[in-house]
Amino acid sequence: MRGYRKSTGLLLKATLCIALALLWLPAGAGAATQDQVQEVRQLLEEYHISKPTDDKLSESEIDAMIDTLGDPYTEYFSPEELQLFSNAINQSFVGIGIVMSQDDGVTYLEDIVPDSPAYKAGLLPGDALVSIDGVATTGKTIDKIMEMAAGPEGSNVNIGIKRGIVKLQFLVARTSLQLPVATSRLMGDGVGYLRLDSFSADAAAKFKAQLESLEGKGMASLVLDLRGNGGGFVDQAQQIAALFVAEGILAHVADRDGKDTPIELHGTSRDYPVYILVNGGSASATELLSGALQEYGVAKLVGTNTYGKGVIQQLIPVESGGTLKVTVQEYKTPDGKKVDKVGLAPDVAVSGNLQQLLAAYRLAGGGDVRLTAGRGALVVNGIRLADAGSVVKKNGVWYVSSKLGAVASEATLSYDPKVKQIVLSRDGSAHRVATTDSHVIVKNGVSYVDVRLLSKWFDNLTWAAAGDGTVTLFDSAA
C-alpha cells in the first residue's frame, strides 16, 4: 500500500492504491454478527464512491452485501486477514529467506534474501535443492516445497542441497523476515538499476537511499524496475515522484461527489534520463508514479501495458469487529487520462522479461552485456532473473535457447516454416540453420542453438562455460 495517514478523532484511515492480485487471503473464519453487518452497511453508504443506497445493499452477510457493489477492491477483513494484507504490502513473512525456481526438473535456490537465516547459514544462489527435513523434493512443485518448508517462527528446518557434485545439509532457523523493498546496483556504462517491489509504508525512504547510493557512484542514467509491483500507499508514490518533479501533481483524484483534489508535488528534479520497466503486474500506486513521470517527460516507459487500477481505497476499522477496505476515490493522470480498466501504454513496447531489461539498459546508454544462464537463473550485468530452460549441454557441447541467443547477439529471431529453419537477422544479414542440423536441439518445443555457431555468426558475441553448469555470453558493444 502507499501512503498512510491519521485522521482527526478516533477513525484511523490508510489511503491505499493496491491491485487485488497482489496477495491471496483465506476465507473468513466465521459468520459476521448483525452489528457488524449493520455497521458495514452504514460505512459503505457513507464512504463508497458509488453512493450505494440501503435498498441496494443486501440484507445478508457482509461479503454478499459488498458483492452487490461490483467492486473487486472493496473488502471486509477479519483481524487475521488484515494482518496478512499488511504483511503482503510490507513484504513481511516467516521463513528462512530463499527464492526458488525450477529448471529441467531441478529446483534451484534462485536467490537468497540478504542477511536472512539462509544467507547466514551459507546457502548460495544456484544451489540445487534436494530435500526438506529429509524428504526429497524431486518431482514436487514449488508450491508444495513451500508447504514442506513452512513452519512456526523459531523452529528449525533441515535443507539438503547439491552444490556441484557435493551434497550438503544446513540446519536453518525460521524467523520473521521482511523482503528488501528497494534494491539497486550499477549495470555498467553509468547505468543504474533500481528495483522497487512494493510501495510499503517505508518505500520512499528505502527508494531514496538506494537512489542516492547510485548517484554517489556516478550514475548517469536510471532504469527503474516496477514490473510486478502491485501498489501500496499513495503518499509513498507521492514522495518518490517528488524526487523527480520540482512542482506539479501526482494525479487528479475525484471523490464520490466528483470533487477533484490534486495530489500536489513539491520536490526537486534530476538531470539524468529515467526508463521505467512496466508490465501487466504494474498496478495502482505504480501507475500513479509511472503516469506522472511519463507525462512530465521525466521518464519513458518500457515493457507492456500496465494493469489498469485507477481507484483508491481506505482502511476503516469496524467498531463491532474487523476492518473495511473501501473504494473512495478514482484518480487520473496529471493530463487527465483515465487509468482504471485502461492502464498505461509504454513508450517503447517490449515483451519478455530479459528483452525488457536489456532494451531499457541499451536505451539508457548501456553497452557491454555479460549474461550468465543456467541453474534456474539469468544474471545480466549483476541483475538476477528467474529462468528455466535457457541452456542445454549435450555430448560436451553447450546450446542456448534460440530466443536467448537472439537477445544476446542483438539479432531478430524468426522461423521459416517452409524449410524448417531458424533465422537470426542483424544489420541486413540473415543467418539460417535447419532444426534438423546437428547445431540445433529441439527439446520440449524449444529450439537450442550451438553457442559456437552463434559466436561464429556474430563477432560481437563470445562465450565461456563454467564447471557449475552455467554458460556466460559476452556481448561487446561496437
At 244 the three-state DSSP class reads coil
Question: Which of 105-109, 213-217, 387-391, 394-398 shows the lowest per-residue confidence on average (mean pLDDT)?
Answer: 387-391
What is the pLDDT confidence band of residue 389, given thresholds at 50, 70 and 90? Answer: confident
How confident is the model over 229-258, as a mean pLDDT?
96
More confident residue, 471 or 389: 471
* CATH node for 182-308+332-354: 3.90.226.10
**pLDDT tens for residues 25-54?**
344 445 677 788 788 888 988 899 888 877
User: How many Å apart are CA 63 and CA 27, to the nearest integer?
Assistant: 10
How confident is the model over 73-98, as a mean pLDDT?
91
User: How many Å apart are CA 301 and CA 270, to the nearest integer?
Assistant: 17
Residues 6+ apart with CB under 8 A from 381: 187, 188, 361, 366, 369, 370, 371
Q: Supply the angle between the helices 285-295 and 234-241 in degrees, to the nearest 10.
A: 20
Nearest to 113 by CA among 378, 357, 375, 384: 384
User: What's residue 467's pLDDT?
Assistant: 79
User: What's residue 289's pLDDT?
Assistant: 98
pLDDT above 90: residue 440: yes
User: What's residue 8's pLDDT?
Assistant: 25
Nearest to 372 by CA among 110, 139, 190: 110
How confident is the model over 136-160, as a mean pLDDT?
95
What is the pLDDT confidence band of residue 16, given thresholds at 50, 70 and 90? Answer: low
Q: Which three cell numbers stand for residue 348?
A: 517503447
What is the pLDDT confidence band of residue 13, given thresholds at 50, 70 and 90? Answer: very low
pLDDT above 90: residue 335: yes
**pLDDT tens for residues 197-243?**
999 999 999 999 999 999 999 999 999 999 999 999 999 999 999 99
What is the pLDDT confidence band of residue 14, given thresholds at 50, 70 and 90? Answer: low
User: How many Å apart are CA 45 and CA 57, to the nearest integer?
Assistant: 9
Scan for cell 503482503, then name that residue: 88
- Radius of gyration for the alpha carbons in the chain, expressed in angstroms and rounded: 25
At 58 the three-state DSSP class reads coil
User: What's residue 15's pLDDT?
Assistant: 64
User: How many Å apart are CA 105 and CA 98, to the nearest integer?
Assistant: 18
Instruction: Map out the domains of the chain as residue ranges.
Output: 5-92, 94-178, 182-308+332-354, 368-475
Q: Which three cell numbers stand for residue 74?
A: 472493496
Pick the CATH number of 94-178 from 2.40.30.110, 3.90.220.20, 2.30.42.10, 3.40.50.300: 2.30.42.10
What is the pLDDT confidence band of residue 472, given thresholds at 50, 70 and 90? Answer: very high
Scan for cell 542516492, then name that residue: 212
Scan for cell 537512489, then name that residue: 211
Q: Are 269 and 299 in contact, with CB atoms under 8 Å apart?
A: no
**pLDDT tens for residues 395-407?**
999 999 999 999 9
Q: Determine the straight-line distance between the first and last CA of the chain, rounded to whole angstroms.
A: 44
Average pLDDT across the chain, whole number: 90
At 154 the three-state DSSP class reads coil
pLDDT above 50: residue 248: yes
